[in-house]
Amino acid sequence: MRHDKSLVVDGVRQFFGVKGSQVQALSRIDLVIEPGQFVCLAGPSGCGKTTLLRLVAGFMTPSEGKITIEGKSVKGPGPDRGMVFQAATLYPWMNVRSNVELGLKFQKVSKAKRREESERYLNMVGLSDFAERRPYELSGGMQQRCQIARVLASDPEFVLMDEPFGALDALTRERLQEELLTIWRETGKTILFITHSVEEAVFLGSRVLVMSPRPGKIVLDIESSLEEGSERLPVSELRSQPEFMKLVDQVRDSIHGGTHV
């Protein structure tokens, strides 16, 4: 179940548009992500976070540099990488359960097993009662939860999440944070998680990265020592811990370029 693939981002730059009106989204990214890390990525809007995640997912190839998994160049999307998009992307003609089971269907998993897995994850995201509904019958946050269930159910080695909890209420968000941490601890998946919440990044990440404003580059890369205790405190209690507050300050300072804004 645990995987041992490392992900390397090597000298990656990304440009968009044609010469003359070119936008440089990524300055130069060099990163080694070890198997089983929970990497949180924060940074100002438009700095290139989604771009980096899309490159890792294989939806596009970098203008310069390369991305490799276990030494093999990423050439396109694959079942080893599951992406939760910033805006939910569900198939409107399929009900919630079929959307969640889709990845498993591609993997030729039996119907009974598919049902078992979809039940598990629909329950986790609180959508069991909506399994037969179509996406348009769900709220935005519910669609987002369905998307999360779909990606986790298909059991990829790398889970790429682009602000997955941004549209959720505080309670649901905290519950899903805890669930995601449990899944991460149990499965040893590698998670790359974008968030605008500094507290969320520090709470979830075993490693926290901060990107500068566009063209994005990594300006902070820290390991979180919070993981050293075997059981972490819930976020509500962690907030008042000095170690937590120190990390939050460090990340916040880095996002604001060393000065409080």
Ligand X SMILES: Nc1ncnc2c1ncn2[C@@H]1O[C@H](COP(=O)(O)OP(=O)(O)OP(=O)(O)O)[C@@H](O)[C@H]1O
What six digits make up the tokens of 156? 């990829």
Q: Are 51 and 22 in contact (CB under 8 A)?
A: no
CB-count exposure of residue 198 (10 Å: 0-12, 13-18, 19+):
buried
Indicate the residue among 51 and 95 with the shorter CB distance to ligand X: 51
What is the largest distance, in Å, between two alpha-carbon atoms of the chain? 55
Regarding 164 and contact with ligand X (CB under 6 A), the answer is no
Spell 109-136 as b/e; 16+ CB within 10 A means b: beeeebeebbeebbebbebeebbeebbe
16, interface contact from ligand X, Mg ion, none, CB < 5-8 Å by kind: ligand X
- For residues 190 and 157, the answer to whether their CB atoms sit within 8 Å is yes
Choices 47-55, 76-84, 92-100, 124-132 (CB under 6 A): range interacting with ligand X: 47-55
Query: Interface with ligand X by CB under 6 A: which range of 46-54, 100-108, 118-126, 151-159?
Result: 46-54
23 contributes a contact to ligand X by CB under 6 A: yes
Question: Is residue 197 part of the contact set for Mg ion (CB under 5 A)?
Answer: no
Q: How far is the CB of 45 from ligand X (least distance, A)?
A: 3
Count of residues in the chain? 261
68 binds ligand X (CB under 6 A): no
Buried b / exposed e along 156-185 (16+ C-beta atoms within 10 A): bbbbbbbbbbbbbeeebbbbbbeebbebbe
Specify the pairing of strand 158-162 against strand 81-84.
parallel
Residue pair 200/177 in contact (Cβ under 8 Å)? The answer is yes
Q: Is 50 an interacting residue with respect to Mg ion (CB under 5 A)? A: yes
Q: Please list the alpha-helical segments (H only) found in 62-204.
A: 96-106, 111-124, 140-153, 170-187, 198-204
- From the list 44-52, 104-112, 123-131, 243-251, the region that binds ligand X by CB under 6 A is 44-52
Among 12, 42, 49, 150, binds ligand X (CB under 6 A): 49
Least Å distance, CB 49 to ligand X, is 4
36 is a site residue for ligand X (CB under 6 A): no
Q: Which one, 166 or 188, has the nearer CB to ligand X?
A: 166
The count of chain residues that interact with ligand X, using the rule CB under 6 A, is 14
CB of 20 to Mg ion, least distance (A): 25
Residues that bind ligand X (CB under 6 A): 16-17, 23, 25, 43, 45-51, 86, 214
Residues that bind Mg ion (CB under 5 A): 50
